Structure 1
């Protein structure tokens, strides 16, 4: 019976992803963002309980990837689709947003056949990628920062295209990024994670929703710094 528990969390993750998609159809980015957060939480709980119970279930692993494809593969593409729709004179340009779904599928397929490393993951994970686009949609649609007030300008289109292509690259890149999987709560063994969480908490308290894209960019930068420049393992 204990093998069913992580799968239940996986299915709730999938359910929240489906609700998020429905909400996006009516351009309700705010509530879609909330359900995306729920998807991320239940996706985390799925993995957490699997590790705690030491469950190795091939069915569960496949189910998790299928759920993630909806919640963290299709959802970000739909978000970007509506952020681009009717913003350019070039017809059907918004359909480029589904490159995110394609590259997310490639990443999830590769993840299923790769061995896990408790210290790092290869490339940007789909939940983090989705959180970036979901929080970005809140910033853009609520005019939180002045740059995105120019919603039909060429700068907006170029910026969105750059973000799409960078996202696709990071999803399938070979860049190692540190994992948030805590095997224990030792400060020595999780120093980088604790420092990152402390800085992230400070940014969230000061910048609120604007902090989320900043935190994700910070996460990518420090991961590249540790692995590509310093050539050391993150602990």
Structure 2
């Protein structure tokens, strides 16, 4: 076997390794380092496909390895991130002090974070047998979804001493997170065409949407830093939906 045939799979293994390290970081509540290793894993995930196509060594083994590695880095990691993050948002004291009925299932709410993992697993299985997604995506890709959720804990700092109003915000935050979890599982598997970010030859007329999105993403990252990450993912989905509507109307 030629060495170049092993290079894509090596990058896939590095993606998987980064996902494993990210899980350790989350276990220690080091959400910033977990986010870093997810980004690094996605970087390796991009280049395994790049080298497989460049060297002409793409094959079924690489496809399966890629999905298995993505299942960890872009499936298990974001699910575990939200599980641990939801555990850090404690509403029990607020509920008891205000004589509101204590929901017996409250301790189980963090487990809903793994709905992300289930949705990612289903999407990856669909992706492997869907021939329509060679140049574009149908449904939100799991790496983009992973970036969205692993960046969220970095936007929120839980203070040591909180008053009732802040606790109420924690309650709202918990509800919003659970809604986002279920929404993400849907968006990953929905029949929503998303424009491709692959620019094969520079043509402003052909790739103006991609160029606009990339330029906007760079500006957001420059001014908003980590806050830009979830915003970029949301903008990507919204722009795709708007583009689909405009394209459909133009073809009528």
TM-score higher than 0.5: yes
For the pair 1:163 / 2:141, whether they are aligned, the reply is no
Task: Report the TM-score when normalising by structure 2.
Answer: 0.84
Query: What's 2:247 paired with?
Result: 230
Query: What's 2:102 paired with?
Result: none
More displaced 10-residue stretch of structure 1: 213-222 or 49-58: 49-58
Q: Distance in 1 between matches of 2:204 and 2:158?
A: 39
Query: What's 1:102 paired with?
Result: 118
Q: Distance in 2 between matches of 1:54 and 1:188?
A: 30
More displaced 10-residue stretch of structure 1: 42-51 or 62-71: 42-51
Q: Distance in 2 between matches of 1:62 and 1:130?
A: 19
Query: What's 1:190 paired with?
Result: 207
CA contact (8 A) 1:88 1:152 kept: no
For the pair 1:93 / 2:95, whether they are aligned, the reply is no
CA contact (8 A) 2:127 2:133 kept: no
Query: What's 1:54 paired with?
Result: 56
Runs of 4 or more above 6 Å deviation: none
Q: Distance in 2 between matches of 1:68 and 1:127?
A: 8
Query: What's 2:39 paired with?
Result: 37
Query: What's 1:125 paired with?
Result: 141
CA contact (8 A) 1:20 1:33 kept: yes
Tell me how far 1:189 sits from its aligned partner: 3.5
Gaps of 5+ in 2: 93-105, 160-165
Q: What's the C-alpha RMSD, in Å, of the aligned pairs? A: 2.0
CA contact (8 A) 1:118 1:181 kept: no
Aligned mate of 1:80, from 75, 79, 82: 82
CA contact (8 A) 1:226 1:232 kept: no
Structure 1 residues 100 and 230, CA, compared in 2 at 3 Å: closer, same or farther? same
Tell me how far 1:153 sits from its aligned partner: 2.8
For the pair 1:173 / 2:190, whether they are aligned, the reply is yes
Task: Report the TM-score when normalising by structure 1.
Answer: 0.90
Q: Secondary structure at the match of 1:91?
A: helix
Tell me how far 1:27 sits from its aligned partner: 0.3
Q: Considering fraction of residues, name the structure with more helix.
A: 2
> How many residue pairs end up in the alignment?
228
Query: What's 1:23 paired with?
Result: 25
